[in-house]
A and B are shown apart, each in its own frame.
Chain A
Amino acid sequence: MRTKLASLLAIAALAAAACGGNTTTPAPTQAGGATSAPTGAPTAVPTSAIKAGGTWVFGSASDPTTLDAILMQDGESIRIAQQIYETLVKLQPGSASTLVPGLAKSWEATPDGLTYTFHLQTGVKFSDGTAFNADAAVANVLRWKNLPDALQGDDYYDITVFGGYGDKSLIKSATKVDDATFTMVLTTPKADFLTAMTLAPFSIQSPTALAAHNADKGSKDTTNDYWQKAPTGTGPFMFAGDFVPGDHYTIVKNPNYWDTANAAHLDKVIFKPIADSAQRLTALKSGTVDTIDFVDANQLNDIKSDTTLQLITRSPLDIGRLNINQTVKPFDDINVRKAVSYAIDRKAIIDTFFPNGAGQAADSDLLPSMPAYEPNATVTGFDLQKAKDALAASSCKAPCSIDFSYPDSVSRPYMVDPKGEFEAIRTMLEAAGFKVNPQHKPWKGGYLNDEANGKYGLAFIGWIYDYADPADGPGIFYSTSLAKCGSLTPTTPHNCEAAEDNPAVAAGMAKAIAEPDTAKRTQAWKDVMKLINADVADVPLVWAGSSLGLTAKIHGFVPSPTQTEYYNSVWKD
């Protein structure tokens, strides 16, 4: 994962520079969502119009699964964590890359990129009254480094960003300088380190609460009730004990929030889990909830046409794609891969499944907003004749029988209706001379496991970027298989999905990751993407943004492509 692709940030830095921000000179945060956001963001309102108080009922997709920040992996947990916790460094609301101060008001790095000094905000207290200071920050950082044995395996971001625990961690040490200053030393430079520090799993939690609730005991130990009873941070909201699993999770305004200029307007936010997207829309329309996330693309117009509702769409930062495992016959033949890619009419897919601007036809795993984006020059779009020709030139003559897999029981922004999309694409492939054997399994009930272990030749899958960087996407899909897939003790980061074994790609990616210079690194990634495109290593389908539906009473919501959204700016009529 990102460990292997040890350093990046270049892209983020570049984007930040383009936005006029600066990664090392923090800009002050602004109140009330006054920053401009990519699309659909509410325009800034005069502060006098803001109404304080009220309860916001948010229709989420599921309960949080943990709120011990460092163990979080899923969006619904992170959604809540972003309100009750704070990170040392934050993303500017609405931006995918601009860094602003969080619990650290400023920071500097040594030129070798190994030592970071953080200057902390003063007068900050956790919601349990514990003081936030260098001791608390160091305790948190050392917990990431020395994650207790019993918790190892529950985390994702910790191992992904820091590569290991204890001596194997990228964190060499964390040391208090004075009450408001501490330093972190890394074992090797990591250019995306500061960006990674904005991720919610690296939130600072109250060491007192962690200890009092046995957070370091394993998750199977029932004395560990930290996240259910007392997740404690410094954020504008806090947990006050109101969690009924399956029914709701409530956070309330933190009355003692340190950053008074950015204190929450709302008294309370209630997260109501509604698993099904159609049911979420029903709940919004019948007034059961004020806001829903992940509106089905086909229902966007439903919200647009309703004057009591408003629609907010996030800029896309994901890729819906067909993964190809090149070791599975007949996909070892590039002409078969070409035929698949040519046969798919992406525009028809977009019109049907991602209408109303919900998605754009993709020709690369990278988005055009990323500097390293390289359009596909090998397969230039839908062309039925070329698909037939490619198949005729291949080792698998029409009717070429292929297995094609899609997941059941799931809807993701980049894959709203997997079965519907599968059937549509199947028709297109059969028109080009393929004979498609459908394969499907529940998303969580085996599909993800099988897909990850390379069991599918052609399969629906997608990726949501944590931040805009090729290493956090193609860098994962196409990394070389170094360990036996499915083995329980892999020693090296590896990937079995694509089995892209082109040595030039592997060398190019290694070079891109090691390259310290921003412009050169971008160019190196462009070269890699050209090779990947030429190999037709996968079939990109769609870049899709996700959307929220809100009642007209809700204001001040600032959408973010990475879903890094802070609710302190939200208010309700």
Chain B
Amino acid sequence: MAGIALPQQLEAPIKGTSLWRDAARRLLRNPAAMFGLFLVGMFVFVAVFAQFISPYSPTDGSIIHRFLPPSTSHLLGTDLQGRDILSRILWGARSSLWVSVLSVSIGLTLGISFGAISGFVGGWLDFWMMRVVDIILSLPGLLLTITIVLFLGPGLNTIALAIAIENVPIFARLVRAGILALKESDFVIAARSIGATERRVLLQHVMPNALTPVIVQGTLALATAIVDAAGLGYLGFGPQDPATPEWGTMLTDTQRYLTSGAAYTALFPGIAIILAVLGFNLLGDGLREALDPRLKR
């Protein structure tokens, strides 16, 4: 599919720098991607500096002060437990960022190792490793995630791990496909012929080129992880400590109180999710076009 655009990458095979520089230039010229980068930047900034910019502690409150409407003291009002919603949204960015980054890191590490071994070794090992991938991919995604969370118990880390396991086969396949295509390509054969070791060929030549679609997919997976975590929150699988602010859980916790005049308590986290996910999607989209000149954007 569109993501694997091998011939173009071969134009600058051994020294990858010009490929990256080209890509960066194309990315900077793409206004949608820049808006995405801005949203992602905001999201990361808020997540990192939550304790300095949030007006209240995200966990302080009392049900006596529940569902206060937005006012100057509580810009977005308070939630069921009388906690400041703005502060919880700001802190919630941290949970979402943590889940998405952790899940993609785990998914990438496992997926790349898996795909690289499979693709580079080949043979029967490759065959059976790909069957394992088939097994995981053939399971309905959300159900797999839910059973893993049920197994490991609630918590942001287990949610991240569950989402990561869902991503592993996708990354593995991408990496393997890239390696298979590149392994027999001219520049690798050339590298071998000048005496480079297998290991050196893999690390220096094959991997960087096989990674391009992985980078794009990784960015998009950050977005998917936020949505997945929110979906798990909707189904009742949130952080281990319910006081931990998490957008998906915030959105769904108040669902039963919507008609008690607390509609905004659900709306704001919903908007936060959409903005963060949109940011990663715009950026990922821009990256894809930047890294794949054939798409000419």
- A interface residues (Cβ-Cβ under 8 A, vs B): 277-278, 281, 296, 298-299, 301-302, 348-349, 351-352, 408-409, 416-417, 419-420, 422-424, 426-427, 438, 440-442, 445
Contact = CB atoms under 8 A, between A and B. Distances in A.
Interface string B253-293: 10111111000000000000000000000000000000000
Interface in B153-176: 153-154
Given A302-B259, A408-B236, A441-B153, A419 B62 contact: no
A409 B252 CA distance: 12
B257 A298 contact: yes
Given A278-B256, A419-B253, A352 B66 contact: yes
B256 A348 contact: no
A438 B236 contact: no
Contacts of B259: 281, 298-299, 301-302
Contact of B256 (A298, A424, A438, A441): A298
B260 A420 contact: no
B241 interface: yes
Given A419-B242, A420-B80, A424-B63, A278 B260 contact: no
Contacts of B61: 427
5 contacts: A281-B259, A301-B260, A351-B63, A408-B236, A423-B242
A232 B123 CA distance: 62
B252 to A, nearest CB: 10
Contact of A423 (B81, B150, B257): B81
The 4 nearest A-B residue pairs measured at CB: A409-B236, A302-B259, A424-B63, A352-B63
Interface string B224-257: 0000000000011100111100000000010111
Given A348-B64, A440-B154, A423 B243 contact: yes
Nearest to A277: B256
Classify the secondary structure of B's interface with A.
loop
Contacts of A277: 256
A446 to B, nearest CB: 8
Given A352-B63, A424-B63, A427-B81, A438 B153 contact: no
Interface residues on B, range: 20 to 34
Contacts of A349: 63
Contacts of B236: 408-409, 442
Contact of A278 (B66, B150, B258): B258
Interface in B60-92: 61-64, 66, 80-81
A427 B62 contact: yes
A254 to B, nearest CB: 38
Contacts of A422: 242
A419 B244 CA distance: 12
Contacts of A281: 259
B237 A408 contact: yes
Nearest to B255: A278
Given A427-B61, A441-B153, A420 B240 contact: no
Contacts of A440: 154, 240, 242
A417 B63 contact: no
Contacts of B64: 348
Contacts of A298: 256-257, 259-260
B235 to A, nearest CB: 8
A442 B237 CA distance: 9
A545 B66 CA distance: 23
Given A278-B255, A348-B64, A419-B242, 6 more contacts: A299-B259, A417-B256, A420-B80, A423-B242, A427-B62, A442-B236
Contacts of A296: 256
Contacts of A441: 153-154
A277 B256 CA distance: 8
A423 B150 CA distance: 22
A420 B253 contact: yes
A296 B80 CA distance: 15
A285 to B, nearest CB: 9
A278 B260 CA distance: 12
B167 to A, nearest CB: 24
Given A278-B256, A296-B256, A352-B63, A420 B81 contact: yes
A346 to B, nearest CB: 12
A299 B64 CA distance: 19
Contacts of A419: 242, 253
B258 A424 contact: no
Nearest to A353: B63
B35 to A, nearest CB: 35
Contacts of B80: 352, 420, 423
A441 B62 CA distance: 24
A438 B242 contact: yes
Contact of A424 (B81, B240, B241, B260): B81
A252 to B, nearest CB: 34
Contacts of B237: 408
Residue of A351, A408, A409, A422 with most chain B CB atoms under a 10 A cut-off: A408
A234 to B, nearest CB: 40
A27 B61 CA distance: 56
B256 A299 contact: yes
Contact of B154 (A301, A408, A417, A423): A408
Contacts of B257: 298
Contacts of A420: 80-81, 253
A438 B240 CA distance: 7
A348 B153 contact: no
Interface in B6-43: none
**Which of A298, A302, A416 has the largest number of chain B CB atoms within 10 A?**
A298
Contact of B260 (A299, A423, A442, A445): A299
A482 B243 CA distance: 39
B213 to A, nearest CB: 37
Nearest to A443: B236
Nearest to A424: B63
A301 B258 CA distance: 12
A280 to B, nearest CB: 11
A278 B237 CA distance: 18
B256 A445 contact: no
